Amino acid sequence: MVGADKAIEAVAECAAVGIPVAIVGASGFAEAGAAELQTKLLEVAGDTRILGPNCIGTVNLGTGLVASFSPFFNGEHTELKKGGIALISQSGALGFGAVSLALERGLGLGWAVTTGNEADVTALEVLTELAGEPDCTGLLGYVESLTDGVALRKLAARGKPTALLVAGRSTAGRRAAVSHTGTLAGDVRVTKAALRQLGIVEVSDVDELLDVGEAFAMAGRRSRKAGMEAAQGVGTGPDTARGLGKRVAVVTTSGGSGILAADAIEDWGLLLATLSPRTDRELRVVVPPYGSTQNPVDVTATVMRDRTLVVRCLHAVAADDGVDAILLCFCVLTGEDVDGIIAALTEVAVTKPVFVARTGAEHLAPGTTEALRALGIPSYPTPARAVRALSALVAGLGAGSEDYPGQSGQLAPKITVSDEGALKGMLAEAGITVPYGHFLDSPADFDFPGRAVFKAVVPGLVHKTEAGGVLLGVTRDMAEEAWAKIAALGGRVWAEEHIEGGVELLVGIAPSPLGRVLTISAGGILAEVLDDVAIRLLPTDPAGMLEELKINILLNGYRGKPPLDVAAFLKVVRTFTALAERWPADAVVELNPVLVREHGAVVLDAAYVEENRR
C-alpha cells in the first residue's frame, strides 16, 4: 500500500524477513514504461513471490481474508458469499467489478485474485494452483496476455472446468493492453485454437464469464451430491468419454423460447436430443394438440390451467436415455405456477442436469433464482444464455482429456536448409513423396518424359510466383527459352516433373508465444485469400484438423469424383511435424502446396524461413 517509489524498499524488507508473498498494488512500473523499475522489484524480492505490481490484491472469501484496496469493499451493502468458483483477473478494477456482479447475482466465490503486471505470479499460475483446491468447482479468468503454452497446458491438465475472457483481440485492444499492464498479447487465432484444443472455454464478455461460472458452480454441487469427484462430471453421453453429453431436451411453456433455444443449441455445437418413441407416447398424453411433443417440447401456456403438465413432461424427458441434459424455458409465469415447477424440479434435477431460462422480471415470482440455485439448477434470463452456459459446462467437464505429451525433447543441433532442393531431399529421405527433380545447369539436361516445372532458386526470394520465378508445363521444346528466363533472375534453375490433379493444401509450422503451432489450410493461391485455417499447438495429432476446414468437402468425393487419399496426407503431416522437432524453435516451414491425390499426397513446394515472418 505504498507508491512505486517506496515499493522497492518495502519488498526488500519483506524479503529480508522471509515473507513468502508480497502484494504490490502500486502503479508506475512496466505499464508506465518503467520496465527497469519492475526488474529491480524482482531483484530485491529474492525468494519472496510478487503479486503485481499494478494490481488490486486478493480476497479469500472462505477465510474472509481481504488483502485489497478495491472500493468494492467500501460498498455499504457489500456481502461476501462463499462458493466454489475462483475468479482471477489481470485487471484489478474490472476483476473486482466482475466479483461485485457475481455476488450481486448470487454466484458464490471462493477466491478473487488480481495479478496486474504479472512481474512474477501470473493469472495462469494462480488458476492452476486454485484448480487443485478440493472446494474449487470451476475457474474464471480475465487475461490480457496469454503467452505461456506450457502453463496453459498445465492448467488444462488439471481437468477443472475453466473459462477465460481474453482481452486484446483487436489491434487497438492489443495496443491498449500493452499500455495497461505492459504485457504482450498472443496471436488471436493461435490463442483461440489452443484454448479449444485444450478444452478451456473462451468467452467474449464479462456477463458470459459469469453465466458460465453459474454452470460450473452447479456442476460442483451436483457432483458432490452424487458422491462423485467434481472433476469427473455429472453424467455420460455419446460424444464424450467422460463428462457431460451434448444431447439436450428442451421443455418450454413458450413456443418462442423453444425456437430460440433450438437456434442456440445449433450455434453452440450441442444437439437437440431425439426423444424415444416411449417418451413421445408419454408426452402425447400430456401436451395439448396446439403444443408440440417433438423436442423442443412445447407444453404451451396451458400450464397455467394445469400445473402438472410441466411436471409430467419433465419426468418423461428425464427418463429418456437419449437425453443428457434438460433446458426448461418459461417466461412471465407467476407465484404458484412457478412454485409448482420448482417442486417438480426437486425430483428431476437429481437424475439429469437441468438448466432454466426464465425470461421474465424477477418481481413476477420473487426468490425463484435462489430456489433453483438451492436445487443445483442455474437459471438465466434467456434461452441463448442458458444454452451457452450449458455448452461451456460440456466443454469444461471435458477439459484435460487431451493427453499432455510433455515438452518435446531437447532440440537437436540447428540445421540449415539453404534451398528448396535440399529441403525436399530431407522430406523425401523421411518418406514424404516429392516430385522427381534436380537442378538444371543447362537446358540440355532436361530429362522429363512429360511436362516439367521450372523454379528459380535465388537466396532470399520467397515469393517466387510474383517474381515470375515459376514456369509450369514446360516441355522439352520450351526448355531452352524457359531456362533462360529463370536463370535471368540470378540464381539456379530447379526443374521437376509437373504433377496435376487433386486438391492443394498448405501445411506449416511456426513459432507462437504459446509454443510451436501446426497450421493446415487451403493451399496454393487460396492459402492467403481464404480464412480457412486449422491451427493446433504442437505436439498434437493432425487427425480432426481437416474437419475444421471448408475445403475439406473437396477431399471426400466432391461432385462425383473419387475421395482423395486423406490418410496419405495425414502421414505427410505426421512425418513433417516429427522432422520439425529437430529444427530450431523459431523455424517457419511451409509445405505449399501439398497435392492430395486419389492415391497418395505429394509435396510440390516447400519453403524454409528461419526468421518468423508472421
The amino acid at residue 300 is T
User: Quick one: how many helices (H) and strands (E) in the chain?
Assistant: 18, 25
Supply the minimum distance, in Å, between the C-beta of residue 309 and a second copy: 14
Supply the minimum distance, in Å, between the C-beta of residue 361 and a second copy: 4
Supply the minimum distance, in Å, between the C-beta of residue 317 and a second copy: 15
Question: Residues 6 or more apart from 299 whose CB is under 8 A from it?
Answer: 251, 252, 253, 286, 287, 288, 291, 309, 310, 313
Report the C-alpha gap between 579 and 432 in whole angstroms. 11
290 versus 436: smaller Cβ distance to a second copy: 290
| Contact of 303 with 310, CB cutoff 8 Å | yes
Supply the minimum distance, in Å, between the C-beta of residue 347 and a second copy: 25
ω before 539 within 30° of 0 (cis)?
yes
Supply the minimum distance, in Å, between the C-beta of residue 414 and a second copy: 31
Supply the minimum distance, in Å, between the C-beta of residue 574 and a second copy: 26
At residue 340, the 3 state secondary structure works out as: helix
Report the C-alpha gap between 58 and 45 in whole angstroms. 19
Report the C-alpha gap between 260 and 387 in whole angstroms. 10
Report the C-alpha gap between 474 and 452 in whole angstroms. 5
81 versus 614: smaller Cβ distance to a second copy: 81
307 versus 571: smaller Cβ distance to a second copy: 307
91 versus 137: smaller Cβ distance to a second copy: 91
Cα 89 to Cα 59, 123, 143, 329, 481: the distances in Å are 12, 7, 6, 33, 65
Supply the minimum distance, in Å, between the C-beta of residue 300 and a second copy: 7
Query: Residue 601: which H helix or E strand, with range?
Result: strand 601-603
178 versus 588: smaller Cβ distance to a second copy: 178
Cα 206 to Cα 81, 91, 213, 250, 572: the distances in Å are 19, 12, 10, 26, 42
Query: Residue 309: which H helix or E strand, with range?
Result: helix 308-318
171 versus 416: smaller Cβ distance to a second copy: 171
Supply the minimum distance, in Å, between the C-beta of residue 375 and a second copy: 22
Supply the minimum distance, in Å, between the C-beta of residue 580 and a second copy: 27
**Sign of the four-CA dihedral 528, 531, 534, 535:** positive
Residue position matching grid coordinates 516445372 = 453
Q: Which three cell numbers stand for residue 146?
A: 496469454
Minimal CA–CA distance to 89: which of 153, 188, 165, 24?
165
Supply the minimum distance, in Å, between the C-beta of residue 577 and a second copy: 26
State how far Cα 453 lies from the chain centre: 41
Supply the minimum distance, in Å, between the C-beta of residue 38 and a second copy: 12
140 versus 427: smaller Cβ distance to a second copy: 140
100 versus 276: smaller Cβ distance to a second copy: 100
| CA triple 523-527-532, angle to 5 deg | 100
Supply the minimum distance, in Å, between the C-beta of residue 434 and a second copy: 24
Supply the minimum distance, in Å, between the C-beta of residue 476 and a second copy: 19
Alpha helices in 330-458 (DSSP H): 335-351, 368-374, 383-397, 420-429
Report the C-alpha gap between 283 and 309 in whole angstroms. 9
58 versus 91: smaller Cβ distance to a second copy: 91
208 versus 420: smaller Cβ distance to a second copy: 208
Q: What is the full DSSP assignment across 250-298? A: EEES-HHHHHHHHHHHHHTT-EEPPPPHHHHHHHHHHS-TTSBSSSSEE
Supply the minimum distance, in Å, between the C-beta of residue 226 and a second copy: 30
136 versus 272: smaller Cβ distance to a second copy: 272
71 versus 450: smaller Cβ distance to a second copy: 71
175 versus 414: smaller Cβ distance to a second copy: 175
Cβ burial, residue 63 (10 Å; 0-12/13-18/19+): exposed
Minimal CA–CA distance to 331: which of 317, 308, 347, 310?
310
83 versus 258: smaller Cβ distance to a second copy: 258
